[in-house]
Amino acid sequence: MAKIDEYLRDIKTVAIAGHVNPDGDCIGSCMGMYLYLRENYPGIRAEVYLESYRDVFSFIKGIKEAKNVCEPAPVDLLILLDISSTSRIGAASPLLDTAGKTLCIDHHITNKGTYTWFHNEPGVSSACEVLYGFLDPEKISADCAAALYTGIVTDTGVFQYSSTSPQTMRVAAKLMEKHIPFTEIIDGAFFQKSYGQNRMLGKVLLESRRMFGGHVIFGSALQSDMEAFQVEAKDMDGIVSELRNTIGVEVAVFLYELREGVFKVSLRSREHVDVSCIARAFGGGGHVRASGCNIEGTLEEAQEKITAELKQYLE
């Protein structure tokens, strides 16, 4: 595998960005890349772009330096991390057309974008694990290691998902050797929830419904629900996984209202259904067992569209 040095020749300015509504892997990989460049390449001016993120990730060093509004000036190199498609690039999306070169490091099976350099490993647990292979382990600081470890533990569900491999554990061990506070990272980034998040989860679980003989479970939340519990889109992570934990469920579907007439759909499967195919039918993408998309319409219309697409796979 090529090392990051090979992509930084004659590069003076770098922008680093991930996907909309960033999760732990997106945040960890973007901040890990940012810290690595800042600490080892003083001749490169690097900027990192992240949309709104949960406060539990505030422990990552340098995260307050992340920008959520794109600088208009072009850069020599745009590094994209953990994006499933170019349509899901977050705050830095205007730079895709103006950057001198683009490097995409990813692990989504649905990523078919066009970049100067594209390195995608769909079978790997996380973008952070893929990124680790590009870095010199001796140059990874404790702060950088903490960011990368955050992405790995969140995207593997603390090493419980099927994408976790022996190599995932080896990389995690190498990061732990940097003396990072790994127990605090796991507790804060994966398990801790605000009171509002727990109330929102409770409402979704209480009002969920099963279909297809109990093999599919649907949960949903409207903007009015989110306002009542004082939560935002960034706070909805993890709800679909809780739905999937129901005994007998093969596919979990969670829909929440992004704005009037537009719903974010999160899909998770246990063993048999490739939910990335379902997400792609609506312009989304992701992984075989975890994908997402946006659907326009009312809640009932969005549920009907997903149900119709699911039917052919379950039959």
The domain spans of the chain are 4-191, 196-314
Average pLDDT, the chain: 95
Fold of 196-314: Diaminopimelate Epimerase; Chain A, domain 1 (3.10.310)
* pLDDT-above-70 percentage for the chain: 100
Measured at the CA of 147, the angle between CA 63 and CA 88, to 5 degrees, comes to 70
Residues 6+ apart with CB under 8 A from 212: 310, 311, 314
Decide if pLDDT at 139 tops 70.
Answer: yes
Decide if pLDDT at 1 tops 70.
Answer: no
Give 246's pLDDT tier (boundaries 50, 70, 90): very high
Can you read off the two tokens belonging to residue 181?
């506070």
Residues 6+ apart with CB under 8 A from 48: 15, 16, 17, 30, 31, 33, 34, 62, 65, 66, 67
Question: pTM for this structure?
Answer: 0.91
Which residue in 102, 89, 140, 82 sits closest to 11, CA to CA?
Answer: 102
Decide if pLDDT at 313 tops 90.
Answer: no
Helix (H) or strand (E) holding 112: none
Give 312's pLDDT tier (boundaries 50, 70, 90): confident
Decide if pLDDT at 71 tops 90.
Answer: no
CA separation for the pair 279, 288 (Å, rounded)? 10
Give 35's pLDDT tier (boundaries 50, 70, 90): very high
Which CATH code is given to the segment(s) 4-191? 3.90.1640.10
Burial track 278-295 (b if 16+ CB lie within 10 A, e otherwise): bbbebebbbbbbbbbbbb
Mean pLDDT of 141-165: 96
Mean pLDDT of 25-31: 98
Decide if pLDDT at 118 tops 90.
Answer: yes
Mean pLDDT of 2-21: 95
Give 90's pLDDT tier (boundaries 50, 70, 90): confident
Residue by residue, DSSP assigns 149-163 as HHHHHHHTTTTTSTT
Mean pLDDT of 13-38: 97
pLDDT of residue 258: 94
